Amino acid sequence: MTRDFVIRRAVPEDLPELVRLCAEHAEFEQAAYSPHGKAERLKAHLFGKTPACFCLVAEMDAVLSGYATYSKEFSTWDAGFYIHMDCLFLRPHARGLGLGEHLIKQIKQEARSLGCQLIQWQTPKFNTRAIKFYKRIGAMEKEKMRFFLTVE
C-alpha cells in the first residue's frame, strides 16, 4: 500500500508532537531526555526573529512521522560555511519508505540556497541501519569523538 507523505517546514503548531519525536529519538539513541520546557525553547529557536536552526517534518497520512533539524555553521579549516544536520529521525513505521532520503534532499536544496557545499552530521556507531543508508546516498564517514562540557 502506498502512503501519502509530505516534507515541509515545521510550524509552531507542530511543537507538541516535535517534542514527542525528540523524546523517541533520544530513547532510540539510548540518551536521557527531559521534555520540560522544550516546546517553549524550540519555539524561540525555530520560529523567533532570527532562527538559530531550522526544522523539517515528514508527515505521513497526515501524522508527523519524523523530523530533521539543521543549521548553518562555519568551518575554519574550509574558511567557509556548511550545513550541520543536528537530527534526523523517523518513527519505526516510517523507515524504509524513502522519507529519510526526501528529508536529506530538502536539506541539500537549502544548503545550495545558502551557498553551502557540504552537510555534516553524526550518528551512534550502533545505528547500523542509518549508517548503511548514509553510505548508500553517498555520504563519507570520518572517525571522531564527540565531547561534552557543561558550562556552569
pLDDT in tens, 40-53: 999 999 999 999 99
Whether the predicted pLDDT of 148 surpasses 50:
yes
> Would the CA dihedral through 57, 94, 24, 63 be positive or negative?
positive
Say if residue 133's pLDDT is above 60: yes
Q: Are 15 and 39 in contact (CB under 8 A)?
A: yes
What is the reported pLDDT for 149? 82
Ordered by start, the domain boundaries in the chain are 5-136
Q: Is the CATH code 3.40.1350.10 the one for domain 5-136?
A: no
For residue range 66-121, list pLDDT tens digits in order: 999 999 999 999 999 999 999 999 999 999 999 999 999 999 999 999 999 999 99
Residues of the chain above pLDDT 90, percent: 89
Mean pLDDT of 29-41: 96
- Determine the pLDDT at residue 1: 42
CB atoms within 10 A of CB 70: 25
Average pLDDT, the chain: 94
Strand order of the β-sheet with 119-120 is 5-9, 54-60, 63-75, 80-90, 119-120
With residue 81 as reference, give the H or E element that holds it.
strand 80-90
Residue 77's pLDDT is 92
Q: Which helix (H) or strand (E) holds 17?
A: helix 15-28
pLDDT at 145: 81
CB atoms near residue 83 (< 10 Å)? 22
**How far apart are the C-alpha atoms of 25 and 66, rounded to whole Å?**
9
